Amino acid sequence: MPKLSYITKPKQPVQLANAFVIYSRLFQYIRRYWGALLVAIVTSMIYSGIDSWFVYFLKPLLNKGLVQKDVEFLHWAPLLVMCVFIMRGLMSYFSNYSIASVSRSVIMRLRQDIFAHLQKLPASFYDHSTSGRIISVMLYSVEQVANASADILATAVQSLFLVIGLLIVMFSISWKLSLLYFIIIPLIVVIMRFTSLRVRALSLTIQDSITNITHRAEENVDGYKVVRAFGGQEYEKEKFDKTARMNRQREMKVVAARAWSVSSVQLVAAVALSITLYIATMDITNSVLSAGGFVAMIGAMLAILKPMKDLTSMQNKLHRGLAGAQTVFELLDEKIEVDTGTKTLKRARGKIEFKQVNFAYENDKSVLQNINFSVQPGETIALVGRSGSGKSTLVNLLPRFYTGFSGEILLDDVSIEDYRLADLRHQFALVSQNVMLFNDTIAHNIAYGRFNEVSRDEIRAAAEAAYALDFIEQLPQGLDTLIGENGVLLSGGQRQRVAIARAILKNAPILILDEATSALDTESERYIQVALEGLMRNRTTLVIAHRLSTIEHADKIIVMDRGQLVEMGNHHELLLREGNYAKLYKMQFKDIPSVESDAEVV
């Protein structure tokens, strides 16, 4: 495997993608829910219109009601206000509900698309990405996208129409005074532009800090036993505290930028309001405005400050959301596994050939060099050698977990690249030393990928063949027992037997056993060896072995060293040659193993 640093990708300068391109792409998600979005926009317009009307209503309320003492007007005014505000409440409810519906639907669809995309990404992507980064994109970044989707659009409509409505009120009362407000618009645009770009750049750095927080927390949870056993609590706490402080600093920079933007816009608007107030009072003196007109004018000027503030804040939220959308789309744009195969394959015979195969990971030295060997159907091939000699890489090429190798790998005399990827992988059952189980029932873990194809009896038979049924029946719910994250409620040997049962149930023509009995005690290992011998019969089997005693009866043993095939033959032939295999074998079976021998055979 490639060597990875703690942070798997080198730090790159923040690159701002084109905002129009991102928003256009995001709009493709929003438009799917156009019905709810239309309701949100229409109700927001009505809501803003009611607020504007109420400000204008102050003029006749003072002139007719309080100055002229119009009794009929005063009789109907309270009822009118009550009805209008009931309508306002209804519009607010439908607007907020529809906005939330669209936003949550966009978030749901993005998460579904990300998860579906992750199923198609190659192994090389996971080699260079931390789980913390992926999780932070699915959780944090997608939530930020909500701020750049429907709620921003609806807020913009609501605030914009309120500004328009209030300007209509102002112009209807005094167009000369209203013109003063247009003087401040260029200043507001400049302030909003500067702040929004800064907020967006800062938001991208926040994405990184959230990734680091997620990664450190997840790493600490997964490795809690090591942390406690080696007394690393304080060290881990200091690392997390440093990451949390960095996140806080970056968040506060965004808060400061947003606060400066809002305050600046309000200050500019307040200056314009003060000048307008001064001139308006002069108009009152000259009786240009009525008392009601003056109150309505001032009310409109004060009321317009809030939607202007909301529009300014919306710009900041928009660009923070765009930063989240950028990371989401970068993940969605990761290249998926290339499947150019056209040949179908129901069940392979199991003949495998490697011809002059060379392979290297990205930006890494060659891992496999000139690999040549063949496996006949039903044969058992063992791969042995030091750690890092290329054994796991070699078997990972077979199901095309990695591509980009030179030479040829043939399955039943056909290049593995010519088969459809799903058909090719259907031919392999894998049991690894690093068992992966899911937070589900034992039955579902055994029948993984075949839930609708197998019966309960078949699951029980597979468990019994793997010598797992005895301990399963002792669990509270038997096969229906939930086993926790990665089977945490089971012992290492029990997890291994569940994984073997899963391979037995798949009934694939080719088995890949990566030290399949490594986690078992001596008694369980004997049972499993018997089960595996039955399973391996009439199937092609590739065994990655560290304990050489488990592969003495293999048809062929391949010895690898530094990516090269250095020896090949059966157990007795290789011992007689007294080469690498014989050296490894003697080291393992010395009465007193040395430190050197332990280092040789890992």
DSSP H helices, 119-232, are 123-127, 131-136, 142-147, 150-173, 175-183, 185-222, 224-229
Among 57-71, 365-379, 471-485, which is the least confidently predicted range? 57-71
Strand partners, 542: 381, 512
Q: Tens of pLDDT along 504-516?
A: 888 889 999 887 6
Q: Show the domain range for 106.
A: 19-332
The pLDDT, as a whole number, for residue 509 is 92
Whether 304 is covered by a domain: the verdict is: yes
Question: Is 435 within a domain?
Answer: no
The closest alpha carbon to 207, from 78, 368, 355, 319, belongs to 319
Q: Going by C-beta distance under 8 Å and a sequence separation of 6 or more, which residues neighbour residue 34?
A: none
Quickly tell me which residue has 């930028």 as its tokens.
257
Q: Which of 85-89, 267-271, 425-429 is predicted with the least confidence, judged by mean pLDDT?
A: 267-271
Q: What is the DSSP letter of 70?
A: -
User: From CA 562, how far away is CA 309, in angstroms rounded?
Assistant: 65
Confirm whether 132 is domain-assigned. Answer: yes
- Among the listed ranges 123-127, 237-241, 362-366, which one has the minimum average pLDDT value? 362-366
Q: Is 411 exposed, middle or buried (0-12, 13-18, 19+ CB in 10 A)?
A: buried
Q: Which residue, 100, 144, 159, is CA-closest to 317?
A: 144
> How many domains does the chain contain in total?
1
Is residue 191 included in any domain, yes or no? yes
Q: Is residue 571 part of a domain?
A: no
CATH number at residue 89: 1.20.1560.10
111 domain residue, yes or no: yes
CA–CA separation, 265 vs 312, rounded Å? 8
pTM of the model as a whole: 0.75
Closest listed residue to residue 124, CA positions, set 339, 363, 418, 371: 363
The span from the CA of 544 to the CA of 382, in Å, is: 6
pLDDT digit string, tens, across residues 569-596: 989 989 888 888 888 888 876 643 443 4
266 part of a folded domain: yes
Confidence of residue 10 (pLDDT cuts 50, 70, 90): very low
- How far apart are alpha carbons 109 and 247 in whole angstroms? 28
> What backbone phi and psi angles, to 5 degrees, belong to 451?
-55, -40
Position 424 pLDDT exceeds 90: yes
Residue 524: band (very low, low, confident or very high) from pLDDT cuts 50, 70, 90: low
Q: Which residue has the higher pLDDT, 14 or 430?
A: 430
Kindly state whether residue 402 falls inside one of the protein's structural domains. Answer: no
Selected residue with higher pLDDT from 91 and 277 = 91
Model pLDDT for residues 543-576, shown as the tens digit of each residue: 988 777 778 888 999 999 888 999 999 899 898 8
